[in-house]
Chain A
Amino acid sequence: MKKNVFLFVFFLCLLTSLGIYGFQGGKSATGTQKQEKPNIIVKSRQVIKPDNKNQNKLHAKCTLNCKTCHYCEYPTKKNPCLIYCPRDGMVTVFHTPEECPEVITLDEMSVRFGAVVFSHKIHAEMSQMSNGCQGCHHYNTTGPVLACRKCHEQTRIRKDLNKVDLKGAYHRQCMTCHRQWSHTTDCNFCHISKVPNHKQKIQEKIIQISGKEHPKTVEPNKLVFETSYKKGKFVTFYHEDHIKVFNVACNKCHWDENCITCHDPNNKLTHGAKGKNISIKTKKTFDEHHAPCNNCHKQDHCNVCHNDKELEAWDHFKVTKFELKPHHDKLACTKCHERTSKFQKLNSDCNSCHKNFKPGKFNHNVVALKLSDNHADLACESCHVKSRFKDKPVCKECHDDKEFPKSLPGEKIAKKKK
Chain B
Amino acid sequence: METNSNSHSRRHFIKNVAALGAGVVATSANQAVAAPANILSEDRKGVLVDTTVCIGCRNCEWACKKSHDKESGNIEEYSDRSVFKQFRRPSAATYTVVNEFSNPKNPALPINVKVQCMHCDRPACVSACIVGALSKYEDGSTIWDPVKCIGCRYCMVACSFQIPTFDYNKAIEPNINKCDFCNERRKAGKLPACVDICPVEALVFGTRSEIIKIAREKIQRNPERYINHIYGENEVSGTSWVYLAGRNFYELGFPKLGFKHAPGVSEAIQHGIFAYFVPPVMFYSLLGTMMWIYKRREEFNKEAELAEELELQSEPESEVEEL
List residues of chain A with CB under 8 Å of any chain B CB. 3, 7, 11, 14, 17-18, 21-22, 24-32, 34-36, 39-45, 71, 83, 87, 112, 156-157, 161-162, 164-165, 167-168, 171-172, 175-176, 179-181, 183-188, 258, 260, 265, 280-283
Contacts and interface: CB of A to CB of B under 8 A. Distances in A.
Contact of A162 (B28, B81, B217, B228): B217
A25 B276 contact: yes
A185 B109 CA distance: 12
B55 A280 contact: no
A22 B32 CA distance: 12
B313 interface: no
Given A21-B33, A71-B217, A265-B108, A164 B39 contact: no
B217 A14 contact: no
Counting contact residues on chain B (CB < 8 A from A), the size range is: 35 or more
Interface string B33-45: 1011111111000
A27 to B, nearest CB: 5
Give the dominant DSSP class at B's interface: loop
Interface stretch (B150-158, B170-178, B196-204): B196-204
B167 interface: no
9 contacts: A17-B277, A21-B24, A28-B31, A40-B216, A71-B217, A83-B217, A156-B191, A185-B55, A187-B76
Contacts of A14: 17, 277, 281
B201 A168 contact: yes
A73 to B, nearest CB: 13
B6 A3 contact: yes
B255 interface: no
A179 B55 contact: yes
Contacts of A39: 233-234
Given A29-B29, A175-B200, A184 B81 contact: yes
B221 interface: yes
B276 A29 contact: no
B20 interface: yes
A283 to B, nearest CB: 5
Given A161-B210, A185-B56, A32 B31 contact: yes
A157 B79 CA distance: 26
Given A22-B276, A258-B108, 11 more contacts: A14-B17, A14-B281, A18-B277, A21-B277, A25-B276, A28-B32, A31-B37, A32-B32, A42-B228, A183-B108, A283-B106
Given A39-B233, A167-B199, A157 B17 contact: no
B21 interface: yes
B73 interface: no
Interface of B: 6, 10, 13, 17, 20-21, 24, 28-29, 31-33, 35-42, 53, 55-58, 75-76, 79, 81, 104-109, 191, 195-196, 198-201, 204-206, 210-211, 214, 216-217, 219-221, 223, 228, 233-234, 238, 275-277, 281
* Of A171, A185, A282, most B-chain CB atoms within 10 Å: A185
Contacts of B79: 184-187
A283 B109 contact: no
B122 to A, nearest CB: 10
Contacts of B200: 168, 171-172, 175
Contacts of B13: 7, 11
A45 B220 contact: yes
Nearest to A164: B201
Contacts of B191: 156-157
A282 B108 contact: yes
Contacts of A157: 191
Contacts of A7: 10, 13
Given A30-B38, A157-B191, A18 B228 contact: no
Nearest to B138: A31
Contacts of A164: 201
A185 B24 contact: no
A272 to B, nearest CB: 15
B221 to A, nearest CB: 7
A180 B29 CA distance: 56
Contacts of A45: 220, 223
A42 to B, nearest CB: 5
Contact of A24 (B33, B205, B214): B33
B37 A260 contact: no
A252 B108 CA distance: 25
Contact of A34 (B21, B35, B40, B275): B40
A120 B81 CA distance: 29
A260 B107 CA distance: 11
A265 B109 CA distance: 11
B82 to A, nearest CB: 11
A18 B223 contact: no
A185 B35 CA distance: 43
A36 B11 CA distance: 47
Contacts of A187: 57, 75-76, 79, 199
Contacts of B20: 18
Contact of B228 (A41, A71, A180): A41
